[in-house]
């Protein structure tokens, strides 16, 4: 009988403990979401202070080069884009400045684009970023940007570079669903650990003379 009573007390203790844990977790999460919402509302009214270009199509880099001509003081981050000399040649041909452009070379997916871009944007103290992608990359790129960057107080404006030829990204519901689940988990983990890319190159440091024409191939594009 005593054993049964002890087991009953233990079960009640565990149930109450779990209930308190989940309630406390919900309250903490709710307060955090309200704080993030407040920060985002302030960030939305800020001017764009950086441009993030998602790799996957050289048309996005062409678009970014044109933006760089009219906004020479705004830093540009190109996340795993075309080969370094291709980007260098594009900016040179467009007459766009190179000094404010960084190439992030760690990303291998759209999820990675935002994961490795976030620490760089934070180091620039960015509150509002313009993300350059293609229509074929929506809505996944937009949702991931809003979740992953928005959870750290960065407001996202999406701007589309029109795609010519085969799309750089092909979207389907399973891919989008899995990425959204992964991004939601990452939001909480990233509050404690935020890995940085160890391979970030200033575009101005690319030495075009060291690149043999046969050592790289640029995606076909039309101006």
The tens digit of pLDDT for each residue in 33-59 reads 566 667 778 888 899 999 999 998 899
Residue 215 lies in a domain: no
Rounded CA separation 182/92 (Å): 38
Residue 29 lies in a domain: no
The H-or-E segment that residue 143 falls in is helix 140-148
Structural domain tally of the chain? 1
- Cβ neighbours around 174 below 10 Å, total: 7
The encoded tokens of residue 39 equal 């920060």
pLDDT of residue 109: 94
Residue 19 lies in a domain: no
Residue 13 lies in a domain: no
Instruction: Give, in order, the Cα–Cα distances in Å from 149 to each of 70, 74, 134, 156, 198.
Output: 25, 18, 19, 7, 20
Model confidence over 71-108: pLDDT tens digits? 999 999 999 999 999 999 999 999 999 999 999 999 99
- What's the pTM value of the predicted model, to 2 decimals? 0.85
Model confidence over 144-202: pLDDT tens digits? 999 999 999 999 999 999 877 665 566 788 889 999 999 999 998 998 889 999 999 99
Residue 39 lies in a domain: no
Q: Which domain holds residue 119?
A: 47-210
With a CB cutoff of 8 Å and minimum separation 6, the contacts of 74 are 48, 49, 50, 51, 67, 68, 100
The H-or-E segment that residue 218 falls in is none
Residue 131 lies in a domain: yes
Ranges assigned E (strand) in the chain? 50-54, 76-79, 101-104, 128-133, 155-160, 200-202
Pairing of strands 155-160, 128-133: parallel
Look at 162 and 20; give whichever has higher pLDDT: 162
The encoded tokens of residue 170 equal 């092909």
Residue 180 lies in a domain: yes
pLDDT of residue 215: 75
Residue 24 lies in a domain: no
pLDDT of residue 31: 57
Q: CATH number for the domain including 85?
A: 3.40.50
- In DSSP terms, 76 is beta-bridged to 51, 101
């Amino acid at each position: 009988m005593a054993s049964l009573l002890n087991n009953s007390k233990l079960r009640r203790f565990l149930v109450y403990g779990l209930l308190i844990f989940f309630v406390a977790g919900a309250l903490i999460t709710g307060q955090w979401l309200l704080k993030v919402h407040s920060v985002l509302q302030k960030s939305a009214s800020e001017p764009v202070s950086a441009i993030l270009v998602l790799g996957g199509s050289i048309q996005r880099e062409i678009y970014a080069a044109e933006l760089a001509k009219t906004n020479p003081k705004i830093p540009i981050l190109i996340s795993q884009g075309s080969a370094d000399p291709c980007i260098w040649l594009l900016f040179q041909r467009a007459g766009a400045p190179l000094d404010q452009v960084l190439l992030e070379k760690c990303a291998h997916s759209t999820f990675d684009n935002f994961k490795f871009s976030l620490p760089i944007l934070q180091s620039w103290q960015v509150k509002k970023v313009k993300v350059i992608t293609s229509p074929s990359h929506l809505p996944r790129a937009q949702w991931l940007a809003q979740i992953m960057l928005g959870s750290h107080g960065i407001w996202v404006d999406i701007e589309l570079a029109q795609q010519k030829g085969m799309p750089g990204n092909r979207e389907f519901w399973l891919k989008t669903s899995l990425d959204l689940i992964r991004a939601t988990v990452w939001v909480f983990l990233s509050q404690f650990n935020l890995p940085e890319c160890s391979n970030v190159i200033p575009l101005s440091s690319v030495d075009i003379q060291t690149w043999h024409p046969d050592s790289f191939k640029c995606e076909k594009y039309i101006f």
